[in-house]
A = this chain, B = another copy of it.
């Protein structure tokens, strides 16, 4: 056997964790009202997964530009383009307390970029969150009002993070 996982396994385990965490989140929020923030559209695969599994939710997607499959692109009212440091504070104010699920997929191969993105999300996402909201993130976040939850069964990879937001904390 190999000593370390291959890049193929890395992507596979990452998707496995993502699918398992999203299934957990879909179940957890089933009885709670609220909308969804997707930070990072990318090719639109996760957006497609969100809309298929949450057909009655409004989903707002953030990215710098549209680079998704044509059939995985949100309509113009639900895509918010620009730098997250600019767009997230505005959206968090517009949708204050209404977001029940935030999925954050804004990491890259640059540690410096990841630290910056984690800081931006940690600083500007909280005002948007409803009490009990879940945050799923590819980067560790530092939001005092959240508790980190264990990953659900089926998620082998530990580089994925689930936080629950409580408006009564700190």
- A11: CB under 8 A from chain B? yes
Closest to A52 in B: B2
Interface of A, secondary structure class, is helix
Task: Sort chain A's interface into a size bin.
Answer: 20 to 34
- A168: CB under 8 A from chain B? no
A19 & B8 in contact (Cβ 8 Å cutoff): yes
Chain B residues near A18 (CB, 8 Å)?
8, 12
Looking at the assembled complex, report how far the CB atom of A111 sits from the nearest CB atom of chain B, in whole angstroms. 16
A12 & B16 in contact (Cβ 8 Å cutoff): yes
A residues with CB within 8 A of B: 1-4, 6-12, 15-16, 18-19, 22, 43-46, 48-49, 52-53, 69, 72
